[in-house]
């Protein structure tokens, strides 16, 4: 795996705590962070995790920046040490009348154009603030953090990882990953027992490729394990898979096929094998020939009648056609080359005959019918994991599986994750957090 940034790679642009995933398509690729537009041309051939300084370009009315790699990360200035010199005891005498900043909006915009670094802009804002020195140290830190976020001039380009992409998709919209939070994703991988040995079956109905990428990442490179990724559409969502940039041999061990197409292919092959073993194939062929014979004879009679009634030119045409027919009717030895999806269906059906070591289902629709269709392809005493954002759906599956006695040790669980702010004298849970990341139904097949 190449450790430098190349054209065609997916990269994660990080600016403080904000991250964004994009593809470095060509040298003219740009990324928009808020109102700032950043050109990535000069990032090529730099190592991942390189921190770049944003250098403004002289374009009127636009905030366009180019990149300049920092030699050492210590070049980033610590504003707290530079600007906090004295603090007040409390904020009781501070009045928010919007008159504390003596600089106007036009002057601040002019400062941004003239100053070489964001710390100089923030320093000027602090100097011209009437209330900064009277604020408490905690309020001063919040003020500096807010201004630093607005005027921060450094970005870091990172290699995509499962954790970073899960956080990005969740922040943009939890529905992009069907409500699977990162802690639930880790539980899915843990319960399913994905490792470098075995065959694994996954059905998901749209997570931008995050789930197959996470499972393929756990399988690892240079191993013998295979993953069959089932999806309901014509084309699988693969952005996260492509962003991880797995080795070619590892990518080839992940087969993305349509659920209904591969099941039809599997059962058709099974029926053909049964018919061949029973010797019924020749009979069906003979029946087909007998059925087609009257139609062919009728077509020949019509051609003869046309030849008699038409003039000599028509007869000559008919003779030339008859002369050419033996060549035209020669059987074609060359068959049409199979399309890629047909080859993938054949490979997936071959793995399905060997059976799988675990089954994971993450679906928008009710998963029970899918579960019943896929359970026969699991080996005995293998894990089954279902995810849903609603408990009632999994409860129905729980009751049905209990009645069928096909899966044992059934459990419905839910994760509850709280993120904490860790700061001196003010450690507490985050004010905003997600309340639930869905539910998991787990169990083991009975042989």
89 and 59 part of one domain:
no
Find the range with the poorest average confidence among 196-210, 229-243, 296-310, 346-360: 296-310
Question: How many domains in the chain?
Answer: 3
Is 321 inside any structural domain?
no
- The H-or-E segment that residue 111 falls in is helix 105-114
385 and 441 part of one domain:
yes
- Higher pLDDT among residues 422 and 84, named by residue: 422
C-alpha dihedral over 98, 99, 105, 107, to 10 degrees?
-160
Is 281 inside any structural domain?
no
Q: Per the confidence metrics, is the pTM higher than 0.85? A: no
390 and 416 part of one domain:
yes
224 and 347 part of one domain:
yes
222 and 343 part of one domain:
yes
**Domain final position from 129, 152, 175:** 152
10 and 33 part of one domain:
yes
| Boundaries of domain holding 118 | 78-152
What are φ and ψ of residue 357, in 5° steps?
Answer: -100, -10
What are φ and ψ of residue 211, in 5° steps?
Answer: -65, -50
CA–CA gap between residue 150 and residue 69 (Å, rounded) = 21
360 and 230 part of one domain:
yes
136 and 19 part of one domain:
no
**Domain final position from 39, 59, 74:** 74
Is 317 inside any structural domain?
no
Is 283 inside any structural domain?
no
182-192 and 210-219 are packed helices; what angle lies between their axes, rounded to 10 degrees? 50
168 and 43 part of one domain:
no
Burial of 222 (0-12, 13-18, 19+ CB in 10 A): exposed
pLDDT in tens, 366-386: 999 999 999 999 999 999 999
Is 108 inside any structural domain?
yes
Q: What pLDDT score was predicted for residue 306?
A: 45
Is 402 inside any structural domain?
yes
Is 310 inside any structural domain?
no
pLDDT in tens, 293-335: 343 343 344 444 444 444 444 444 444 444 444 444 555 556 6
356 Cβ contact list (under 8 Å, min separation 6): 198, 199, 200, 201, 228, 377, 378, 379, 382
Q: Please determine, for residue 288, whether its predicted confidence score (pLDDT) is greater than 50.
A: no
Q: Please determine, for residue 92, whether its predicted confidence score (pLDDT) is greater than 70.
A: yes
**Domain final position from 74, 96, 118:** 74
Is 217 inside any structural domain?
yes
Q: Please provide the DSSP assignment of 262-320 as one string.
A: HHHHHHHHHHHHHHHHHT-HHHHHHHHHHHHHHHHHHHHHHHHHHHHHS-HHHHHHHHH
Query: Backbone dihedral region of 156: left (phi > 0), alpha (psi from -120 to 50 degrees) or beta?
Result: beta
436 Cβ contact list (under 8 Å, min separation 6): 389, 414, 416
pLDDT more than 70, % of the chain? 82
Q: Please determine, for residue 219, whether its predicted confidence score (pLDDT) is greater than 90.
A: yes
Assess contact for 44 and 27: CB atoms under 8 A.
yes
- Dihedral of alpha carbons 425, 430, 431, 436, sign: negative
193 and 144 part of one domain:
no
126 and 207 part of one domain:
no
Q: What pLDDT score was predicted for residue 415?
A: 84
In CATH, what number is assigned to the domain containing residue 255? 3.40.50.150
Q: What pLDDT score was predicted for residue 318?
A: 45
Retrieve residue 12's tokens: 């994660």
pLDDT in tens, 26-83: 999 999 988 889 999 999 999 999 999 888 887 666 788 899 888 765 545 555 555 6
Retrieve residue 362's tokens: 């993450």
Q: In which order are the strands placed within the sheet that holds 10-15?
A: 18-23, 10-15, 154-158, 50-56, 64-69, 36-39, 30-33
Q: Please provide the DSSP assignment of 37-52 as one string.
A: EEE-GGGTTPBTTEEE
132 and 241 part of one domain:
no
Using alpha carbons, list the distances in angstroms from residue 153 to 114, 129, 150.
14, 22, 9
Nearest to 212 by CA among 195, 237, 190, 191: 237
């Amino acid at each position: 795996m190449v450790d430098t940034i190349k054209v065609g790679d997916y990269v994660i642009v990080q600016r403080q705590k904000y991250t964004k995933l994009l593809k470095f398509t060509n040298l003219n690729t740009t990324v928009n962070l808020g109102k700032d537009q950043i050109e990535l041309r000069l990032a090529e051939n730099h190592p991942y995790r390189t921190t770049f300084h944003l250098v403004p370009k002289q374009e009127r009315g636009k905030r366009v920046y180019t990149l300049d790699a920092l030699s050492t990360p210590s070049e980033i200035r610590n504003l707290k040490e530079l600007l906090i010199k004295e603090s007040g005891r409390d904020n009781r005498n501070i009045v928010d009348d919007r008159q504390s900043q003596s600089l106007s909006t036009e002057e601040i915009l002019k400062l941004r154009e003239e100053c070489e670094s964001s710390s100089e802009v923030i320093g000027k804002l602090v100097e011209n603030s009437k209330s900064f020195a009277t604020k408490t140290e905690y309020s001063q830190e919040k003020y500096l953090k807010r201004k630093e976020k607005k005027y921060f001039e450094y970005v870091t380009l990172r290699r995509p990882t499962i954790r970073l992409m899960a956080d990005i998709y969740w922040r943009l919209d939890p529905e992009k990953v069907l409500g699977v939070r990162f802690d639930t994703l880790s539980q899915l991988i843990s319960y399913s027992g994905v490792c470098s040995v075995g065959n694994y079956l996954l059905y998901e109905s749209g997570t931008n490729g995050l789930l197959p990428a996470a499972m393929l990442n756990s399988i690892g490179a240079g191993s013998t394990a295979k993953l069959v990724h089932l999806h309901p559409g014509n084309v699988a969502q693969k952005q996260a898979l492509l962003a991880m940039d797995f080795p070619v041999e590892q990518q080839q061990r992940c087969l993305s096929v349509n659920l209904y197409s591969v099941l039809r292919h599997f059962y058709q092959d099974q029926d053909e094998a049964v018919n061949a073993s029973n010797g019924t194939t020749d009979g069906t062929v003979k029946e087909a020939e007998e059925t087609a014979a009257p139609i062919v004879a009728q077509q020949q009679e019509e051609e003869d009648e046309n030849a008699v009634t038409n003039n000599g030119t028509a007869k000559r045409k008919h003779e030339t056609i008859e002369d050419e027919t033996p060549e035209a009717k020669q059987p074609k030895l060359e068959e049409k080359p199979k399309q890629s999806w047909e080859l993938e269906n054949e490979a997936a059906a071959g793995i399905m005959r060997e059976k799988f070591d675990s089954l994971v289902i993450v679906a928008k629709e009710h998963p029970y019918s899918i579960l019943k269709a896929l359970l026969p392809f699991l080996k005995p005493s293998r894990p089954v994991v279902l995810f849903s954002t609603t408990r009632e759906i999994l409860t129905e599956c729980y009751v049905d599986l209990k009645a069928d006695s096909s899966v044992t040790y059934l459990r419905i669980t839910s994760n509850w994750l709280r993120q904490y702010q860790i700061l001196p004298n003010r450690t507490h849970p985050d004010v905003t957090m997600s309340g639930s990341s869905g539910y998991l139904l787990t169990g083991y097949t009975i042989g």
